[in-house]
Chains A and B, each alone.
Chain A
Amino acid sequence: MTTVEPTSSTTAAAALLDPEFLKSLRSQMLSFARLQLNDDQQAEDAVQEALAGALKNAASFNRQAALKTWVFSILKNKITDSLRSKYREQEHMLAEADACKNGEELDDQLFNQTGHWHAEERPVEWNAPTRLVHERQFWAVFDACLNHLPAKQARVFMMREFLELTSEEICDAASLTVSNLHVLLYRARVQLRECLENNWFTGPMGASS
């Protein structure tokens, strides 16, 4: 189903009150919020607040942006606020021992004793990665790989790459040191890269791409 994008503040408010448009938009917002917050209730709250904020500020909707993009930018801010308060309630999000164990296993799996790639783990060239945005199956694999990341790594990775927070903002929100953050992001990227390579670029799904 293709949703018609409104082009002015009047139609923006009307669209947000249209049950069919609202139902479709709300469902997409919820799936984003759940992935990031990992808490159904908090996701519901963030989406409700974002929609209420969008309706309240419909007059400031800039017709140069798609309505959905504009509403999602409000949702991103709500999610960021939720994450900040969530992490402040916890003393520290890193269980150091677990993180260390996970890192050593990953290192041993990828690198030999001199720190160079094991032959079978050496990254291969990815074929035409820019064409993949139009591949439905690629996004299914990408989603699965993202959801397969350990929770803490996934959360900081999404804060960095999806919410586009700076390192300082993430460290502040998640009570992390910069070096801890870099380690978590490194592990997330290494595992996401590995998962995509094994399941798309050199796997049966990507053999034809």
Chain B
Amino acid sequence: MMNCREATRLLSEAQDRKLTLAENVELKFHTMMCSGCRNFGKQMSSLRSFMSDYARPEQDDLRK
């Protein structure tokens, strides 16, 4: 049974590689039961979205 430490590692790695079917199934099952890891997964996507906005030079005007 996957714990939160293992789930968060996989949720991070999912940003960098394709998870296996077994990993995906176990992760889905864990996040259905765990709101903390479910939020963590959404936040990994938010971080990527923030970084793509951060990398846009147009955003510089807002950061000044």
Taking Cβ atoms with an 8 Å cutoff, the residues of A that contact B are: 2, 28, 31-32, 66, 68-69, 72, 107, 110-111, 114-117, 122-126, 129-130, 132-136, 139-140, 142-143, 146, 160-162, 167, 181-182, 185-186, 189-190, 192-193, 197
Interface residues of B in 42-62 (CB under 8 A from A): 42-44, 46-62
Residue contact B51 to A162, C-beta cutoff 8 Å: yes
Q: Is the interface of A mostly helix, strand, loop or mixed?
A: helix
Given contacts A124-B39, A193-B47, contact A134 B62 (CB under 8 A): yes
**Per-residue A-contact encoding for B5-47, CB less than 8 Å = 1, 0 else:** 1101100110111000000000000000001110110111011
A160 to B59, CA, bound (A): 19
A114 to B6, CA, bound (A): 11
Given contacts A189-B12, A193-B40, contact A136 B63 (CB under 8 A): yes
Given contacts A28-B57, A117-B4, A143-B63, contact A125 B9 (CB under 8 A): no
Residue contact A129 to B46, C-beta cutoff 8 Å: yes
Residue contact B17 to A167, C-beta cutoff 8 Å: yes
Please give the distance in Å from B41's CB to the nearest CB on chain A. 9
A116 to B33, CA, bound (A): 12
Residue contact A123 to B39, C-beta cutoff 8 Å: yes
Q: How many A-B residue pairs have CB under 8 A?
A: 104
> Could you list 9 A-B pairs, sorted by A, with CB under 8 Å?
A68-B58, A116-B5, A117-B36, A122-B39, A129-B49, A181-B16, A186-B13, A189-B12, A189-B47
Note all chain A residues with C-beta closer than 8 A to B59: 133, 139
Taking Cβ atoms with an 8 Å cutoff, the residues of B that contact A are: 3-6, 8-9, 12-13, 15-17, 35-37, 39-40, 42-44, 46-63
Residue contact A126 to B39, C-beta cutoff 8 Å: yes
| 6 residue pairs, one from A and one from B, having the closest CB atoms | A115-B3, A122-B36, A161-B51, A115-B5, A123-B39, A186-B12
